[in-house]
A = this chain, B = another copy of it.
Amino acid sequence: MAFDAIETPFGKTDKIIGGSATYAAWSASHFTKPIQQISIIGGDFPKEEIKALEDRGVQFEGVDVIEDEKSFFWSGKYHEDMNTRDTLVTDLNVLEKFDPQVPASYQGSKYVMLGNLAPNVQLQVIEQLTEKPELIVLDTMNFWMDIAMDGLKDVLKKVDLLMVNDSEARQLSGEYSLVKAAAKIKAMGPKYLIIKKGEHGALLFHDEKMFFAPALPLADVFDPTGAGDTFAGGFMGHIAKTGDISFENMKLAVIIGSAMASFVVEKFGVERVREVSQSDIEGRIQQFVELVNFDTQNI
């Protein structure tokens, strides 16, 4: 949970609410509650934002508030194609002392999402869980592969599903083909793997099975920040709502994650994913059905 300042070809923002856990929580809140947040913020994180999230079923017992310090801040600028961006500022602030503690009231959570952080911090959360969850999902990034690959490999043995983008899957596996990369990554621990390809959609792998969800082609991508986290929130929210971790239901969870991601990019920050209605979401899912559906009776 953090602040971002974002510049895209369409405009720029001052400091706005951001952070993986914020995007994921807003997105998941359309499907399930409670959402038991673990994070660290400074005294500058707006109380009304916390209130708004609490009203949507997000619990803050696991969120450490350091009143006289500042929240994590990231600033970046997107290139014309929106697929690449430059980081302008990264102020770790309170994140430097993040020591996540799982409150007793959170124990027994069935669905756990570990955001992108140092593998040893992710491991520390897993080790505090007194009951084995039905599904532990891990996000990570190339940075940790560069500096903490051994730690990452330890965490991978303890999670059920890894969610990475295509270049991260290639780096982690050493394979260019995503089919080969998936086989190697599954051998490292996770039974399920989601490879996100941005505007090119997402692939879900399990055993010998493979599922592909397109990204919805959009006339305008206004701000891609948080798209992956919003995807993760929609995915986890649907899994938690249905209590069903079958491959069949995960396919739908990937579509729902993709639908939520298609909303968040329409405006800066979390605004669009906050305001979107149940019927907006159902309409968007129907667009995915129409986008990929075809009839084979003419074969």
Q: Residues on A close to B: CB < 8 A?
A: 80-81, 176-180, 197, 200-201, 203, 209-214, 217-221, 238, 242, 244, 248-249, 251-252, 254-256, 282, 285, 289-296, 298-299
Cβ-defined contact, A214 with B217, below 8 A: no
A295 to B249, CA, bound (A): 8
Cβ-defined contact, B291 with A212, below 8 A: yes
Min C-beta distance of A250 to chain B, whole Å: 9
A254 to B298, CA, bound (A): 13
A272 to B294, CA, bound (A): 26
User: Contacts A211-B291, A212-B214, A291-B211 given: A219-B252 contact, CB under 8 Å?
Assistant: no
Cβ-defined contact, A217 with B299, below 8 A: no
Interface centre among A197, A209, A252, A294, by most chain B C-beta atoms within 10 angstroms, is: A294
Interface residue from B81, B212, B238, B249 paired with A292 (Cβ < 8 Å): B212
The closest CB in chain B to the CB of A182 belongs to: B217
Which residues on the B side are within 8 Å of A210 (C-beta)?
217, 291
A80 to B254, CA, bound (A): 30
Min C-beta distance of A207 to chain B, whole Å: 13
Cβ-defined contact, B295 with A251, below 8 A: yes
Cβ-defined contact, B176 with A211, below 8 A: no
Which residues on the B side are within 8 Å of A218 (C-beta)?
177, 179
Cβ-defined contact, A177 with B252, below 8 A: no
Q: Could you pull out 23 A-B pairs where Cβ atoms are within 8 angstroms? A: A80-B176, A81-B176, A177-B217, A177-B220, A177-B221, A179-B217, A200-B201, A201-B201, A211-B291, A211-B294, A212-B214, A212-B217, A214-B214, A242-B298, A251-B295, A252-B294, A252-B295, A252-B296, A252-B298, A252-B299, A256-B299, A282-B299, A292-B292
